[in-house]
Structure 1
Amino acid sequence: MTSLRLVFFHLTCLILGIMAHMTDLSITVRQERRFVSANSGDHVCLRCFYEGDGSAWFYWYKQPLGQKPQLISTFYRLDKNGTFYNEFKNNPRFTLNTGDGTNHLTIFDLSISDSATYYCASAYTFVFSFTEGTTVSVKGSGLNVPASVHQSPSEIIKPGGSVTLNCTVHTGTCDGEHSVYWFKHSQESHPGLIYTHGGGNDQCETKDNTQTHTCVYNLPMKSLNLSHVGTYYCAVATCGQIVFGDGTKLDFEDNGDSPVLVYFLSGALTFTTILVVLLALSVFKMKKGNTYQSTESQARLSAPPASDEGCREDLHYAALNLNLPNRSRRQRNHTNSECVYSSVKH
């Protein structure tokens, strides 16, 4: 009896697990934007949409660069309002706009500390589904000497070549350790973290008579191809703030004026011209030969037939009536008339 109950319990768990898994697949979440740049003091609305029939929970997480995610809020689909946690609780700068299919997060009076990646997530039967997140970059600082990041605006690259991206970081009055991050944005993909340079200021120097600490970081890339085209952003996390550079755009050089391409096209044009001339001459010769043969055939057909008097003669026949001298009645009755035919040769 106990074994039967155990089997029934396992079957029930299996069926419920399958149903939960199928229901979880029907819940999807998505965010509109992947990168947002704003100024200190502005506000930003991070939109999150969900679809499905399951009664799921929805979450907002904040993840500053180099730190673990922080729970901002939760929202149950059957409820009207969401709940904030930790430092976001009772904070008027953070509000939720929830409804059927929406879970939007609005941040007012932005500060440098709000620079981070914000994730919208859903959960059903203890299974979490995350979106790709929205990275928020807030410009401006309350420091006397603000941190800044400088990058070259663009770089021209060649297929199979190499390039080194430079990022110059001025950390201002903050002399603590910092971390540098590289993001890539292209038409095929949204901004994503591709490289991290951890703590350590071995590449930094302090200028005399100034409060500025300058650091230079490089991002070398080799064997370049079309997948490397895009804009690369350098970001630094230091003293509780995150500062982004304006980005360096990588693009392939225009090979329209390349000497190799010009030579190739010139050779192709010359070859094509020669080929056309040869074909035209061949067509002309063929047409001329056909015209000569046609003229000769017409001349033969229109010429008068050769004289063949020795092989043919035209015969004309005529009937002659001759009056014969009087004969005896007996002879006349025997032969009434005689026809003599004469042939005349022309």
Structure 2
Amino acid sequence: NILCCSCFLIDVVAGTESSSILQDSGFISANVGDAVTVHCFYEGHMDMHFSWYKQPLGDKLQLFSTVFKFDRNATFYHEFKDNPRFSVENGQEKNHLRISDMQLSDSATYYCGSSYGNKVEFGEGAILIVKGSGSRNMTVLQQPLSESVQPGDSVSLNCTIHTETCAGEHSVYWFRHGSGESHPGIIYSHGNRSDQCEKSNEAGSPTQSCVYNFPKRNLSLSDAGTYYCAVASCGEILFGNGSKLNIQ
């Protein structure tokens, strides 16, 4: 007996110049309760299926939705199914994702995708940052706000989280968004740790402060940009306002 196996080669194009996917990229900031539309356009007439993917910070890629080119309504998957907060505007070379009544759990990177035959393309991805209302009394502070240095110098970026209601481990991530770059990405992670946290010395105070430092040594011109600290804690992701590093 002869066993015949068929292998299909999938050609993946992700955020390259040859990709026909043009989507919102970089950082998109919103507040809890806001509505946000992440735009995605595609060029050409060959692509037939379109999709959205969500990648929470430090987690795996999740299939969000799919839609056939000539269908009016998209199909949503997993916890996004039958949720009126999510909708897709499809047609006329567009595949826009709309999220209403934003929640902290919506913070993630969103990728627009298209496929035809064995070719799959992805956009560069948009990092959606949802800022809380402060109901949990959690804040993230970054220092310095701006720093000017010369090539070869060293600098230490600081990220401090203050919380009154949640103790325990934190996962801390650093992003860099360079000048002229459309797609920021994770450049460093502190992992799960709580050894850099101290409780307030004030009697009866529930406040806990955690300090994380990100040292940069022997800086070059390519290190210039804005560095963002993101703290995943107690089911929330909190972002700092950024530290701008100027290298002259």
| Band of TM-score, shorter chain | 0.7 to 0.9
Q: Larger Rg: 1 or 2?
A: 1
- 2:57 matched residue in structure 1: 65
Q: Does the residue aligned with 2:37 lie in a helix, a strand or coil?
A: strand
Question: What amino acid is the match of 1:34?
Answer: G
Report % sequence identity.
51
Say if 1:232 and 1:142 are closer, same or farther in 2 by CA, change over 3 A. closer
Alignment of 1:192 with 2:185, yes or no, is yes
Query: Contact 1:149 / 1:243 at 8 angstroms: preserved in 2?
Result: no
Query: Contact 1:56 / 1:124 at 8 angstroms: preserved in 2?
Result: yes
Query: Is there any run of 5+ residues in structure 2 with no aligned partner, and where?
Result: none
The residue correspondences of 1:18-37 to structure 2 (distance < 5 A) are 28-37=20-29
- 2:228 matched residue in structure 1: 233
Alignment of 1:77 with 2:69, yes or no, is yes
Q: In 2, Cα distance between the equivalents of 1:213 and 1:127?
A: 50
1:66-103 Cα offsets, whole Å, 9 max, x none, are 11222221011132221112221221111110002100
- 1:218 matched residue in structure 2: 213
Deviation at 1:219, TM superposition (A): 1.0
Say if 1:235 and 1:50 are closer, same or farther in 2 by CA, change over 3 A. same
Query: Contact 2:63 / 2:77 at 8 angstroms: preserved in 1?
Result: yes
1:295-329 Cα offsets, whole Å, 9 max, x none, are xxxxxxxxxxxxxxxxxxxxxxxxxxxxxxxxxxx
Say if 1:144 and 1:225 are closer, same or farther in 2 by CA, change over 3 A. closer
Alignment of 1:205 with 2:233, yes or no, is no
Query: Is there any run of 5+ residues in structure 1 with no aligned partner, and where?
Result: 1-8, 254-346
Question: What amino acid is the match of 1:219?
Answer: F
Query: Contact 2:136 / 2:163 at 8 angstroms: preserved in 1?
Result: no
Alignment of 1:133 with 2:114, yes or no, is no
Alignment of 1:156 with 2:148, yes or no, is yes
Q: In 2, Cα distance between the equivalents of 1:198 and 1:27?
A: 33
Query: Contact 1:157 / 1:251 at 8 angstroms: preserved in 2?
Result: yes
Q: In 1, Cα distance between the equivalents of 2:120 and 2:247?
A: 41
Say if 1:176 and 1:129 are closer, same or farther in 2 by CA, change over 3 A. farther
Deviation at 1:51, TM superposition (A): 1.6
More strand by share: 2
- 1:252 matched residue in structure 2: 247
Q: In 1, Cα distance between the equivalents of 2:89 and 2:234?
A: 32
Alignment of 1:116 with 2:102, yes or no, is no
1:153-206 Cα offsets, whole Å, 9 max, x none, are 111211111111111122431113221111111223132211111101111112
Query: Contact 2:47 / 2:115 at 8 angstroms: preserved in 1?
Result: no
Deviation at 1:55, TM superposition (A): 4.0
- 2:84 matched residue in structure 1: 92
1:28-77 Cα offsets, whole Å, 9 max, x none, are 21212321111111111100111223243211111111112222210111
Q: In 1, Cα distance between the equivalents of 2:156 and 2:245?
A: 11
Q: Does the residue aligned with 1:87 lie in a helix, a strand or coil?
A: helix
Q: Does the residue aligned with 2:79 lie in a helix, a strand or coil?
A: helix
Q: In 2, Cα distance between the equivalents of 1:27 and 1:234?
A: 30
Q: Does the residue aligned with 1:199 lie in a helix, a strand or coil?
A: strand
* TM-score for both structures, normalised by structure 2: 0.86
Query: Contact 2:158 / 2:211 at 8 angstroms: preserved in 1?
Result: yes
Q: In 2, Cα distance between the equivalents of 1:29 and 1:144?
A: 39
* TM-score for both structures, normalised by structure 1: 0.63
The residue correspondences of 1:240-319 to structure 2 (distance < 5 A) are 240-252=235-247
Query: Contact 1:27 / 1:54 at 8 angstroms: preserved in 2?
Result: no
Q: In 2, Cα distance between the equivalents of 1:53 and 1:121?
A: 15
Q: Does the residue aligned with 2:45 lie in a helix, a strand or coil?
A: coil
Q: In 2, Cα distance between the equivalents of 1:172 and 1:37?
A: 24
Say if 1:214 and 1:129 are closer, same or farther in 2 by CA, change over 3 A. same
Q: Does the residue aligned with 1:113 lie in a helix, a strand or coil?
A: helix
- The root-mean-square deviation of aligned C-alpha atoms, in Å, is 2.7
Paired residues in the alignment total 239
Q: Does the residue aligned with 2:245 lie in a helix, a strand or coil?
A: strand
Question: What amino acid is the match of 2:173?
Answer: Y
More helix by share: 1
The residue correspondences of 1:324-343 to structure 2 (distance < 5 A) are none
Say if 1:88 and 1:142 are closer, same or farther in 2 by CA, change over 3 A. farther
- 1:46 matched residue in structure 2: 38
Query: Contact 1:145 / 1:211 at 8 angstroms: preserved in 2?
Result: no
